[in-house]
Amino acid sequence: MNELLQEEYEPPLEQNLSSSELVLTTNSINKQIFSEAELLNSDFDIISESSKYFRNTYFPNVADKKWSSWKWQIQNSYTSFDKLSKILDISSISDDDDFLTNAKKLPLRITPYYASLFEGKPTNYALIKSVVPSKLEFIVSEGEEEDPLHEEKMCPTENLVHRYPDRVLMLSTGFCSVYCRYCTRSRMVTKDQKSYSFKVWEKSLQYIRNTPTIRDIVISGGDPLTLPDKQLEYLLSELRAIPHLEIIRMGTKVPMVLPQRITNNLVNMIKKYHPIFMSVHTTHPDEFTPEVKEACTRIANAGIVMGSQTVLLKGVNDEVSIMKDLMHKALMSRIKPYYIYQCDPIPGSSHFRTPVSKGLEIIQGLRGFTSGYAIPHFVVDAPGGGGKIPLLPEYYQGREGDYVVMKNFEGKIYKYYDPE
């Protein structure tokens, strides 16, 4: 173990937290997680005009320095409908007492920054639907289950998933700065034990050290970028010291929902452990604010390669025009479009799921109508642990003698001479 002392090592935050603070259920009360000095320690200084308006309206006594602190954003997140009612008309969402009572079982956390994107929008606005609980989450449909990918059956240790031959996924924490309503691992944040201790991390590190076929790791969670710099660096340094581990990836939504976390100190630390890749969870083109663009610039300038991961969501981003705009804005922020996921069948997610044909329609609407760099893979993560299965529109039509018959993006048929 390096210089990080075990008593300093308590993810996801720098102090010992109770289970309620880790799970952050809707009835969580505000507790002073960070000291006043910590709230002022930030080098992020971009505040858009819309953020300023929201802050001046709802946090009039908060200075720029605090608003731009990722720790202040976490400290002051919206974690209950009582808080949300101050910024949203939630009557159409929580119009009965039964729902409000049951909603306390649902994890809720929205940073003030991300909530600023809701200003002036109706409650059916795409980003509101993606993070604010709905009574539809209590409707469980056929085929839905808590762990649809059967990750827990593929865990050689408590927080390590070994599904593919040469790569693993490490659950670094159960904490997220914003909880998405459709999250594959929503089961984690509804349980109060999903804060992983040093001992749990060490067991997983030892498994990787002892398994030379592993050449690639995804650090996920929860969100690994909610870990303090010291804890995250400890993990990266231990992983980089493993000779056969070539690639380190991190899965995160932090640049989109908490861009203030992307400090110069953070990216300068991460780049010491190259090659590092980052899968950024993007949902909608409206997420690309000046703050997000600054965060992405810092990440890219540190040599960290970013790829996008987007879940296809009914009524949120299931139109070709929206998805094209999202992919273009990602590219302009130096994020390469990587995956569009069919929404996983977790309990209470049927209102988000589109038919698989919708994903194929979107890919067909992108191919040929924009550059190849802007076209992600459409995949279904097979229920039962089958892994990602890519799906494509039927461009290949078969053979006619010595010719391959193909259909282009306009639906026109072409033949390619290809004698067998």
Q: Tell me which residues are annotated as active site.
A: 163-164, 167, 176, 180, 183, 185, 344, 381, 388
Neighbouring residues of 172: CB distance < 8 A, sequence distance ≥ 6: 11, 159, 196, 201, 219, 220, 221, 222, 224, 227, 235
- The two three-digit tokens of residue 55, written as one number: 């802050």
Q: Provide the edge-to-edge strand list for the sheet that holds 335-342.
A: 160-164, 167-171, 216-220, 247-252, 276-281, 305-312, 335-342, 377-382, 387-391
Phi, psi of 203 (to 5 degrees): -60, -40
Distance between CA atoms of residues 158 and 357, nearest Å: 36
Distance between CA atoms of residues 241 and 238, nearest Å: 5
